[in-house]
Structure 1
Amino acid sequence: MQDKVLRTLEFHKIKEELLHYATSSVGKEAAGALRPSSDLTEVQNWQEETEEAAKIIRLRGSLPLGGIFDIRPQAKRAQIGGMISPTELMEIASTIRAGRVLSRFFEDLAEQEIEVPLLQEYMSTLNPLAELQQKITFAISEHGTVLDSASDTLRGLRNQLRTNESRVRERLESMIRSSNASKMLSDAIVTIRNDRFVLPVKQEYRSVYGGIIHDQSSSGQTLFIEPEAIVQLNNSLQETRVKEQMEIERILRELSSHVAAYTPELFQNVKVLGHIDFVSAKAKYAKAIKGTKPSLNDEGRIKFFKAKHPLISADEVVANDIFLGDEFTTIVITGPNTGGKTVTLKTTGLCTLMAQSGLQIPVMDGSEAAVFEDIFADIGDEQSIEQSLSTFSSHMVNIVDILKKVNHRSLVLFDELGAGTDPQEGAALAISILDEVYQRGARVIATTHYPELKAYGYDREGVINASVEFDVESLRPTYKLLIGVPGRSNAFEISKRLGLNEHVIENARSHIGEDTNKVESMIASLEESRKQAEEEELEAADYLKQAERLHKDLQQQVIAYYEEKDTLMDKAAAEAAALVEKAREEAEAVISELRRMRVEKQADVKEHELIDARKRLEDAVPERKKTAVKVPDKPKKRELRPGDEVKVLTFGQKGQLLEKTSNQEWLVQIGILKMKVKEADLEFLKAPKEKDTKPLTTIKGKDYHVSLELDLRGERYENALSRVEKYVDDALLAGYPRVSIIHGKGTGALRQGVQEYLKNHRSVKRIRFGEAGEGGTGVTVVEFK
């Protein structure tokens, strides 16, 4: 990809925006080096990484990326035998610790079944280096100083230093307390000059104390004298300091050798952490511009739904649908200046560059981006004063270069093609250039003023006209792209709206050729037809929604009717059965009486007649048949497939299709139940989502383990406050009444910042320093409401 094209499409501004979202210098370095790729597999991999990071940010808020430094120069210096300073060693330990924190974070993601396979695989190459971190933190403090614990020798020397300093101060303070001191000293204090303890003695009393003069005041009235009585003590103190520095140097060289042994691992860790920070920055930027992951192809097919220029304010930018490379490979946009034609070119080119760089783009879901081998752009007035080239010549230099390199895997953007010369020749040249690029198989979007090009799309297959809408009523462009409609001149309409005399306008119309008027009329008719079609489409969509609602209401009413009918029929049948049962009982009594009479009085009643009478009585009991619920005929529907979400009409419940068990029957999952349902009883709702359907949030309850202490030692101020904010939320969710935050004593800046944040937190009841056994002023104890 040419650097000139990247500058023309302002890709560098995208990278500048991206830099703001990287937290470390190595992440910023990766963002600054970002370039588009023309390899489809590589671009797909980049897009997947960005999507995984975006998924983490959606579910967890952010990645823990604090405390990362670019330690490669220090590691390289240690590798060649150099000595690393305490501050640099502290940065190495901080970077190792940051890597281990990030590793634990990804382990936590795996436990929660949040799948981010590409980033997990990348993190697997991180080296823990726990032993090296331990060696450094044992010897170097979080402030970059060598600790007494670094070696027994250093501890002994520093104890000796403190003892000698105490002796020197005691001798000098006794001199200050003497009766004549107030008269002979300019000030009753002990001070230091040239690393030696001295007294400020007035000029006239210099001989009283003897010793060595190290300095004098600007007025010369005060001399800073090392009294003779403490010269030997100061000498001893200096000797001990020299030994201390030698021991510190020995410790640093030893630690540097340990660092040198792990140089390859440290380089790998920096690479991994920098890449994770870079991918996280891409995801954060995508969230800021409301970007989405496009599907990708290498067939030159672009489908941007509601595409927005990422560098235009969200309050001003207009979203447009941009399609190219499917039904047509060339778009010719005509229309007046300031209408948004150039913005359309830049939006297409910049979104494509972003997609090929692994960045999500400001388009709606379902959009598709092509991976091109090259993108060429001739946009804007690139007149070169140094080369004494006109605007036309400058454009032609670019176009000649483009025609040398363009092929079927190129995207070409021409702005004002053929401008800057005679209109007739410029139009002819523009048509010829478009034909040449089209024959090479490239994807082309070109803008032009020439009316001759308005008919270009009608004469050639694979070419379509487009324009940017202009509202004559408000005399302002709407910036809406209209594909399929060529732009028309609005000069007469605008002049009329501005008050130009009607006869002047009519006179102007008479100077325009008949063909031009026909073209303008045709375009006006197309625009009118388009507006009418859009209105009718909206009206039809409204009718369709109303019809769907009515259809569903009727279905519910029919189902309710048949259910009510069945209920009433069941009730009537039950009542009839009760009456028949009563009649049967009475008939049985009569039959029994007849039998008795036959036996007693020899009545002529035969048994088979009695049996026939009972049978007729039993047949009188009504049988209840359920009325099948008939659902009104539905319009022809889409063929059902496994995974589709459907509605089971009989039960009014939603379910998911598992498999087809016969020609007219499906196995449906409804909640925890699985049942076979007739296909006629199923209503299609929607197809399964292709994206991950896991929950978008993970809520930590009281079973989630949160430590009762948060250790901030070694953290930078901003990272520390970010950790405090997250920790307080986790502790509240865990239901802790009280926690401790370890910030150390140090300069007090971190402690003050932590306590200021806690004082303003609505869930904090009170805070206090730790007791003597809890860490004293190095710990803040927090009690929650």
Structure 2
Amino acid sequence: MNKKILETLEFHKVKALVEPYLVTEQGQAELQELMPMTESSRIQQAFDELSDMGQIFVERPHFALGATSEIGPAMRRLELDTDLNIPELLAVKKVLAVSKELVDFYSNLENVDLVQLPQLFEKIELFPSVQGALQAINEAGFVEDFASENLSKIRRRIRESEDQVRQVLQDLLKTKGDMLSDTVLASRNGRNVLPVKNTYCNRIAGVVHDISASGSTVYIEPRAVVAINEDISNSRAEERHEISRILQDLSDHLRPHSGIIRNNAWIIGHLDFVRAKHLFARDQQAVVPQLSDSQDIALLNVRHPLLTQAVPNDLYFGRALQAIVITGPNTGGKTIMLKTLGLIHLMAQSGLPILADKGSRVAVFREIFADIGDEQSIEQSLSTFSSHMTHTVAILEQADQDSLILFDELGAGTDPQEGASLAMAILDELRLRGIKTMATTHYPELKAYGIEMAGVENASMEFDSNTLRPTYKFMQGVPGRSNAFEIARRLGLADKVIQSAQNWTDTDSDVNRIIEKLEHQTVESRRRLDHIREVEQENLKMNRVLRKLYDELNRERENELNKARLEAQEIVDVALAESKSILKNLHEQASLKPHQIIEAKAALKKLAPQVVDLSKNKVLKKVKEERAAKVGDDIVVTAYGQRGTLTNQLKDGRWEAQVGLIKMTLKPDEFNLVKAEKDNQPKQRQVHTVKRANVKGPKARLDLRGKRYEEAMLELDEFIDQALLNNLSQVDIIHGIGTGVIREAVTKYLRRNRNVKEFGYAPQNAGGSGCTIVTFK
């Protein structure tokens, strides 16, 4: 894209409108380098990113990024084996902190369907060790004492010496108070000194650092603190050297990751830029347009972005239309419409939202040319006509079918008849070459050209003859009138003078009447269209209200159902606790078989309904294929996720199943089919979700470390049940040493369990007293 069109249409002012929304220096740099693109795929990618950001703001309206500084030069210094200073390290520290915030934000983002932005979030890499090391420098640029052990020692020594100096000086203030001109310590040349009266300067031994302007006070550093201050100065030098070494270590820590950190900074800046575009679109009521691959342009209620109170207009520049000729008087807004068309496409091809309504379409042009304004040059002996024609010749040489050309006052600056002929010839040349063109003109001959020539359409700017003011409304398909005679009559010019002027002017009154009629029809059509839009907006508002009420009703219904489920869950939990106590007593007193106890516990657990967590706004849907079970079908017992095979169906509808070494009696709703006998239909893979157990296979090891007592005992109970069902002969229970509470609880549980043959601690090289090995009967 040529730079002249960017200057002519003031594209830099549009970028200035986006700049206040940026918070990072990387984003500001990307904005400054922003240029229109000519590849549709890149433009669409920018639009998708902008749409994604809009989806994020729907879910998280207050999404924000931390301000970051440019770190490119710092990363280049690292690559050149140069150490970074404290401000540069702070800038890197901020980039790493914002990177962590963005990764956390994206990991917690739910209910948002993104297209382009996920690949940016997922490319951010974190360096916890580097980020932790940089904590040695606080936000004020101070290197903390914990940065190194040596630095901590040096600073402790400095503080002790300074305390000693203060104590000595305080003692002197008390004992030599009559010799001092002030009872407050002074500081000269970085040293604490005593303000001694000049008459007593020989009474206090020390180093003289300064004398007051009147000469009555001598500032003396007592000899008793000179040596201590020298030690402090040496320690300060050691401190500076140690800080330099720490900065070198931090730079060495960062150096291997400089490229990735630079990429993180770019991603942060790009996300900041996309966020700024969204905020600009929100405040300016701009939209993301559709991209047309056939130069079919439709701009709905389009506004010029640099005008504070721009009048919205519709502009249709269809595929079959090659040229639009705008006629009418000056100050009507013709040039603004010309610039609006060009500037909107510059914005769209730069990935920026445009000031228009939803449904607008833009084309993609490889070049946009414009001849707007008077570029006459006295030094180059160029008149207005010459300057326009020179520019027009250059445009005709460079333009092709992928170009958009904007002419302001085409053919102006010369004889009207010759100028009109040149304008029609230029438009016809561009029409035959298939180049989209919009031109403004005062020549009446071009009105007839627009009516008679295929692919060319007239347009004008509406003018209110009652108020003698332009309305800046764009009327496509209607040529403009000069309105000179009517304006003159309303301004008080005599009728006979106006009549004389009309006689002198070779004006086709019939054509003017037709144009006037077309103007009235266009205004009426626009009025009806505005009414239709108002009705449409009211319908949309009503639809949103109804949808909101419907969603609220569904939410309330789910809340009530969830309350009922929670109450049921509480009741069942109480029943489970009581049943567990009963089963425990039975287990200790009666000689029950293991599988009978496990079946009883599984049946009790099934009473607990599933509770929907509405805070995550997700509904779990289960789809179960309706098919009759048959003997020999493989099943999954839903209570504890074990696979088995159906062996027999009882008269009461229950089924006998072989699950491992145990035979079980199950109801039809207590298992899910995995595989049925072959029939005419092909097999379909079924996925069964089991809530209380893992179907990956039996585990022979249980890790209880870090668990609370109640949680550990529950997991231990379920683990032993699973081991018995899977006919495991030996398992390991890792409980650690710690306080010994979990270990003692495991020991008591195993002693009470009748199915445990023996148990004991593992060998020393396999965990020792932190692990118990259990052998079953």
What's the TM-score, normalizing by structure 2? 0.67
Distance 1:99 1:466, change over 3 A: same
What CA deviation, in whole Å up to 9, does each residue of 1:351-402 have, x standing for no partner?
A: 1111101111111111100011111111122233443422222222221111
Asked whether 1:178 is paired with 2:175, we answer: yes
* 2:516 corresponds to: 524
* Equivalent residues in 2 for 1:280-319, closer than 5 Å: 280-313=275-308, 316-319=309-312
Provide the secondary structure at the position in 2 that maps to 1:420. Answer: coil
Alpha-carbon contact 2:475-2:522 (below 8 Å) kept: no
Q: Which amino acid aligns with 2:235?
A: T
Distance 1:145 1:295, change over 3 A: same
Asked whether 1:9 is paired with 2:6, we answer: no
What CA deviation, in whole Å up to 9, does each residue of 1:264-287 have, x standing for no partner?
A: 111111111111111111111111
Give the alignment partner of residue 441 of structure 1, picking from 414, 434, 437. Answer: 434
* 2:101 corresponds to: 101
Alpha-carbon contact 2:79-2:255 (below 8 Å) kept: yes
Distance 1:233 1:310, change over 3 A: same
TM-fit CA distance, 1:18: 1.1
* 1:60 corresponds to: 60
What CA deviation, in whole Å up to 9, does each residue of 1:430-460 have, x standing for no partner?
A: 1111112222211111001111111111221
* 2:367 corresponds to: 374
Provide the secondary structure at the position in 1 that maps to 2:83. Answer: coil
* 1:155 corresponds to: 152
* Equivalent residues in 2 for 1:153-302, closer than 5 Å: 153-179=150-176, 181-182=177-178, 184-302=179-297
Distance 1:164 1:294, change over 3 A: same
Q: In the aligned structure 1, how far is the partner of 2:113 from the partner of 2:39?
A: 25
Q: In the aligned structure 2, how far is the partner of 1:364 from the partner of 1:289?
A: 11
* Equivalent residues in 2 for 1:380-395, closer than 5 Å: 380-395=373-388
Give the alignment partner of residue 350 of structure 1, picking from 343, 349, 356. Answer: 343
Q: Which amino acid aligns with 2:295?
A: G
Q: In the aligned structure 1, how far is the partner of 2:130 from the partner of 2:255?
A: 11
Q: In the aligned structure 2, how far is the partner of 1:517 from the partner of 1:195?
A: 96
* 2:490 corresponds to: 497
Q: Which amino acid aligns with 2:283?
A: A
Distance 1:361 1:536, change over 3 A: closer
Q: In the aligned structure 2, how far is the partner of 1:497 from the partner of 1:526?
A: 22
Unaligned stretches of 5+ residues in structure 1: 549-653, 655-670, 673-699, 705-785
Q: Which has the higher contact order (CA 8 A, sep 6+)?
A: 1
Q: In the aligned structure 2, how far is the partner of 1:342 from the partner of 1:203?
A: 85
Q: In the aligned structure 1, how far is the partner of 2:29 from the partner of 2:512?
A: 54
TM-fit CA distance, 1:538: 8.3
Provide the secondary structure at the position in 1 that maps to 2:116. Answer: helix
Asked whether 1:44 is paired with 2:44, we answer: yes
Q: In the aligned structure 1, how far is the partner of 2:216 from the partner of 2:614?
A: 73
Q: In the aligned structure 2, how far is the partner of 1:177 from the partner of 1:702?
A: 70
Distance 1:484 1:61, change over 3 A: same
What CA deviation, in whole Å up to 9, does each residue of 1:216-237 have, x standing for no partner?
A: 3444443332122211111111
Give the alignment partner of residue 142 of structure 1, picking from 134, 139, 143. Answer: 139
What CA deviation, in whole Å up to 9, does each residue of 1:441-491 have, x standing for no partner?
A: 111110011111111112210000000000000110010111111001111
Alpha-carbon contact 1:16-1:32 (below 8 Å) kept: no
Asked whether 1:403 is paired with 2:400, we answer: no
Q: In the aligned structure 2, how far is the partner of 1:342 from the partner of 1:146?
A: 61
Give the alignment partner of residue 117 of structure 2, picking from 106, 116, 119. Answer: 119
Asked whether 1:335 is paired with 2:332, we answer: no
Distance 1:209 1:251, change over 3 A: same
**CA RMSD across the alignment:** 2.8
Percentage of matched positions with identical amino acids? 42
Alpha-carbon contact 2:23-2:67 (below 8 Å) kept: no
Q: Which amino acid aligns with 2:148?
A: S
TM-fit CA distance, 1:160: 0.8
Alpha-carbon contact 1:329-1:438 (below 8 Å) kept: yes
Provide the secondary structure at the position in 2 that maps to 1:208. Answer: coil
* 1:509 corresponds to: 502
Distance 1:106 1:537, change over 3 A: closer
Q: In the aligned structure 1, how far is the partner of 2:491 from the partner of 2:482?
A: 16
Alpha-carbon contact 1:489-1:520 (below 8 Å) kept: no
TM-fit CA distance, 1:701: 8.5
Q: In the aligned structure 2, how far is the partner of 1:503 from the partner of 1:206?
A: 111
Alpha-carbon contact 2:460-2:476 (below 8 Å) kept: yes
TM-fit CA distance, 1:544: 13
Alpha-carbon contact 1:64-1:102 (below 8 Å) kept: no
Q: Which amino acid aligns with 1:324?
A: F
Provide the secondary structure at the position in 2 that maps to 1:153. Answer: helix
Q: In the aligned structure 1, how far is the partner of 2:18 from the partner of 2:531?
A: 43
Q: In the aligned structure 2, how far is the partner of 1:468 from the partner of 1:422?
A: 25
Alpha-carbon contact 1:36-1:356 (below 8 Å) kept: yes
TM-fit CA distance, 1:57: 2.1
Q: In the aligned structure 2, how far is the partner of 1:38 from the partner of 1:61?
A: 33
* 1:484 corresponds to: 477
Provide the secondary structure at the position in 2 that maps to 1:413. Answer: strand
What CA deviation, in whole Å up to 9, does each residue of 1:197-250 have, x standing for no partner?
A: 222233443322232222334444433321222111111111111111111111
Q: Which amino acid aligns with 1:64?
A: A
Q: Which amino acid aligns with 1:41?
A: S
TM-fit CA distance, 1:427: 1.1
Alpha-carbon contact 1:406-1:440 (below 8 Å) kept: no
Q: Which amino acid aligns with 1:310?
A: P
Between Structure 1 and Structure 2, how many residues are aligned?
548
Q: In the aligned structure 2, how far is the partner of 1:225 from the partner of 1:526?
A: 100
Alpha-carbon contact 1:325-1:443 (below 8 Å) kept: no
Provide the secondary structure at the position in 2 that maps to 1:124. Answer: helix
Q: In the aligned structure 1, how far is the partner of 2:26 from the partner of 2:359?
A: 33
TM-fit CA distance, 1:298: 3.1
Alpha-carbon contact 2:294-2:319 (below 8 Å) kept: no
Q: In the aligned structure 1, how far is the partner of 2:312 from the partner of 2:440?
A: 19
Alpha-carbon contact 1:391-1:420 (below 8 Å) kept: yes
Q: Which amino acid aligns with 1:157?
A: I
Alpha-carbon contact 1:341-1:447 (below 8 Å) kept: yes
* 1:129 corresponds to: 127
Alpha-carbon contact 2:48-2:115 (below 8 Å) kept: no
* 2:571 corresponds to: none
Asked whether 1:361 is paired with 2:374, we answer: no
Alpha-carbon contact 1:169-1:190 (below 8 Å) kept: no
